[in-house]
Each structure stands twice: as C-alpha cells, then as structure tokens.
Structure 1
C-alpha cells in the first residue's frame, strides 16, 4: 500500500512562488534544497547542467496527512511556461484546496498577481484560479466534497 507524499510543481521564480502560495493559501516553507546536478539529471532525465532547487511547502500538519507542495526551479533555459494545457489532456489538470473563505482567497490571489477565472464560478461550490505561472488551482469551501 502506498501513502500520498507530495506533488511537484515547476515554477519560473522560486521566491515569488513561495510568497504567492504562502500568502494566498497559507503554505509554509519547511525546507529548501539545491539538488546536485548528477542526481537531478538522472532522476528527471534532463541533461546537465540542471541547476535545480526544490522548496518544500506544507499546508496543515504534513506528518498527519497535510499537503506537501514541492516547488521546483531550474537555472537552465526552458523554465518559462510553454502553453496552456486543456483539462481533457492526460496528466495533472489542477491542484484543489479547501479554503475557509473562497472570496477572500480570490482577493488575495488577485492582489498577489494571480488570476481568478471568474467564468468558472459554479455558484459558490468551486472556482478556478491561476498561480503566477499559470497552474490551475481549484478553490473549494469547507464541506464541498462528499465524504
């Protein structure tokens, strides 16, 4: 049997992303590591030099099953967003977070430079926002998902 560990997200500016996820959603930076090029190159199947830094952010108590978000930054070229992905393409479509106040969270997202996708608001049940690099984050009020 497995256990959820983390999800990794490549970002164009590590410090800016840490600030965004912290101030918008309440994540806390727990650790930051410069990953040696030989390890990063082999694990990620990218050529050296890699120049990878990983920051681990937590939401809630990670030891008790809280969320861990790994933000990855690469010093090499090609670290910029390429294109918007469709929800119908295979692969990760979004990150989903339960927040105490959806409207206030949307206000923080806007103030920090993110985008609120107002046309996705489904009557207070959920809304989608984009982080600074275009990653979709779904915001849900408490109790929005069936148990």
Structure 2
C-alpha cells in the first residue's frame, strides 16, 4: 500500500511542477513558421521604447559592422537574453563572449538590413549577413527593447 502512496505522491509532485513552470509562447513570423518565443517580460511596451527600437537596432548593426565589440555590448542590458536559432545566451557577457564576438565581430561579418516590421512588442529586422570569408545567410532578429536597451532577441533563419 505504501508503494502506491509514494507513486501517487511523486505523480502529484511532478504534475504540480509541470503546472507551475512558465510556458513559452509562440509567434508567427512572416514566413508562416511558428517559433517559440522567450518567456520574457509581458508588460506592455512603452511608447519611449517603441520609438527607441529602430535607432537602437541600427546602432547595434553599425557597431557590429564596424567591429566595435564594446559598442555592440552597450546596446544590450546586462541581463539580456539572446536565442540564436535555439542556442540560448542568458546574459550580455554570454551574448558577447560566446556568440557575437567570435561569430560576428572576429569573423568580420557584416549585417545588411533588408526589411523591418513590428511583431507585437518586438521590432523585427530582416538581415542578409555576409561573413568575412564571403559566405552569406538570410535571417531575422526579433528585438525586445526595454528601458532603452535590448532585453531579448529571438534569431531565426527566414
């Protein structure tokens, strides 16, 4: 009898944990594919942040294209999160050290903006990215801007 009570207690505990874990929402980009979004901030975007997003994301591109790591880092909040096609970087330091410095700045990569739009509170920028070796990729970043800094980015191939 005790074995059944323990199994029942474990099942109840697992159910409670599953119910209390924040779920991810989804978004549908222009290509029609549903992708997971960050369980990030759900507060409405302020008018100031909505107005700042285009200039801030352009500042990010200009700094990255100039190879200015410090200026790129300055566009991100300290606790920013970046989801690059499922690779999650949970802080500005990780974003720079593990992703943008080695894969963009040190590689001599260049972003070319090919389009922009809003997806709810996220400012979406479409890019053609050319590597220092001449290769290219097409993708988009969905930026969430809060308090004048990039708080969260979701990057996906188009």
Question: TM-score surpassing 0.5?
Answer: no
* Greater helix content: 2
